[in-house]
Structure formats: C-alpha cells, structure tokens
A = this chain, B = another copy of it.
C-alpha cells in the first residue's frame, strides 16, 4: 500500500476486517452486501449504516442477520473500510469522520471523483492508480464504468481519438424508489388507470426521456452526461478525448445499455476488436449475428460481466477508423456495488502481493 494512505485495511485478512456500508438499505447497498459475500468478504465484521428511518432493520449477510445502525459521526470507530452509497452530500459530510477513524473510504458518489488526490478506479482498466491514494477511492458513475470496461482493451491496442455514445439507462440508476415507480406506473398503464410520477419527472410506463439529471451550463449537457464524459477521460487517462454523449432513461429495471461509436487512430477490423474484447477481463462477448443475439438488459441483469457485441465497422466514418459496439451492464453491479468491492479486492491483493 501507498505510504500516503491513512487507512491500512489491506494489512488484515478479509475475515478480520470491519466493513461499514453506508446506505445499506438502498438499491446499491443491498448489492454491496451481496457482492461482499460473493467475493470472499462474508467473514468480515459488517456494519450496515443508514438514516434513522432505516435503523433497526435486519439484513441478511453471509448466512446471518445484521442490524442496520443509524449513521452518525461516531459510526466509524474500529472500521477498516467504509463503502459509501448514500449520495454526494452524505459522502462529503462524513469524509472527515472516516478519516479520523483511520478507515479507508470507497465512495460510490460523485463527491470526490474529480479530485486529484482521489483515484477514480475501474480495476480492470486502471487498477494501477490505486498505488496512490489519500484515504478515499472513488467509484465511477455507472455509465463511465460500463463504457470503460469495454473501451480499455481496444484503447490499449490502438488509442481512441473520439467517442460517440447514446445510452439506454435503467430505473435502478435513480434508486430503488424509481424501480418501484416503473413497476407501479406500468401496472397502472396496463389497467388504464392514472398514475402521478413522484420519483422521476416524467411518465415512465412504456416511455423514455432525456436523463433526469439537470442540464448544467450553456452547452446543454445534463449532469449525467458531464460525469460520464469527464470520468471516462480520467479513467482512460486521455484528458483531451473528444466525447459526445446523450443519456436517456428507458423503461428497463436494472441494466444500462450503451450504443457506442469509437474512432481509433488506425482502422481496426471488427475481428480484431472481437478477439480483444473476448479475451479481456470483466466482459462477456454476446455477438451472434446469425441468431440476432446481442447484449440486452435481461441477460445483463444480475451478471458481473458487462455484455459486449454488435461489433462492426462504423459506416458513418469514411476513414474506416471507427467501430460500432453495443454494451449492456448491470448498473447496480459493475455500475456500482460490484466495482466498489472489486476496488477493495484490488487494495487487498496489492497489499498481499
């Protein structure tokens, strides 16, 4: 581990760790518990934290029940690692308490993602930046995480010069309440009943709309698009990568899909890209032209790997240097909880190695 780290969880075996999960009852929180259990942290001491409203709830973890405690400044005593997924303002508010407790913070919010001293990490893509951190590691925006897993193997073979993307984002990105709103609104529509949206700004049943993040600035991009662009550049270490992206919320429950066109500095044959992606970690190739079988949310949901397919030379680029591809990845897993736990794994294995 880096000498700059204030926290040293990696010096302990997983079974001796004390892990706090902030936002444990949320859509991502539930998946954090599942991913911790699935990836060898079931023996750790778990401290699920949430707002007072959720305190006292019991959650299943690794064959036992754990009780949700109210998040306070004192919650981190004895904690080695705190996984945060309760929004940027909570992360900012408790950063000092986590640091004071000597714990490592792995933060799923956008609070620190662009801070120079906070690594922004997708382990398969830029795990090496974990060598230096100041006690906080940022987990990327879901679109950036899912895109960069698919882009990195190609970018290593031939630098990416330009990226064009349109997203098909699921309800889960707006939390468990949005998933429930999609179900309720859809049932009402099928029954011919009125439904007033409460969580999302537009009707969601059999409908789609521009991502609900507010438009920021004069350029007309929304907050989700700005995050996806800035974080993709940072994770791939290409500060001047030209990216155009349109983020759209579609009536899907929990996996995000993205149509991408990637321009390289030389022509890259679809066959070469397919071989690179098939061999890369964190991806599963789903690219069966004869069966018309490509990545889709129903097959990406609950799956750790990001599905990638529809790999073909993009005919919109007369130079032949662009490829089109389509990915589907579970927003709650690679887009959030799984990636956070993989960061913890990588920290542990750096120390062990």
Residues of A participating in the B interface, judged by any CB pair closer than 8 Å: 162-164, 166, 168, 182-183, 186-187, 190, 201-203, 206-210, 212, 214-215, 219-222, 229, 242-246, 248, 250-253, 257, 259, 261, 270, 289-290, 292, 294, 296-298, 310-318, 322, 324, 326
Copies in the complex: 2
Given the complex of chains A and B, what is the CA–CA distance between A318 and B238 in angstroms? Answer: 14
Interchain CA distance A244-B163 in the complex, whole Å: 13
The answer on a CB contact under 8 Å between A210 and B298 is: no
Q: Are A207 and B252 in contact (CB under 8 A)?
A: yes
Cα-based distance from A244 to B251 in the complex (angstroms): 25
Which of A209, A242, A297 has the most CB atoms of chain B within a 10 A radius of its CB? A209
6 further A-B pairs in the complex, CB-CB below 8 A; given A186-B190, A220-B313: A163-B316, A186-B186, A202-B296, A242-B316, A246-B310, A248-B257
B166 touching A259, Cβ below 8 Å:
yes
Chain A binding surface, main DSSP class: mixed
- A327 CB to nearest chain B CB (Å): 11
CB<8 Å pairs between A and B, sample of 17: A168-B248, A168-B250, A186-B186, A186-B206, A206-B253, A207-B297, A208-B252, A210-B292, A210-B294, A219-B313, A229-B315, A242-B315, A242-B317, A246-B259, A248-B326, A250-B250, A250-B251
A208 touches which of B222, B261, B296 (Cβ 8 Å): B296
List the 5 closest pairs (A to B, CB-CB), nearest first.
Answer: A244-B316, A220-B312, A166-B166, A166-B259, A244-B314
- The distance in angstroms between the C-alpha atoms of A259 and B259, with both chains bound, is 10
State in angstroms the CA–CA spacing of A243 and B296 once bound together: 24
Q: B312 contacts A219, CB within 8 Å? A: yes
Contact of A315 among B190, B244, B261, B326 (CB under 8 A): B244
Chain B residues with CB under 8 Å of A220's CB are: 270, 289, 310-313
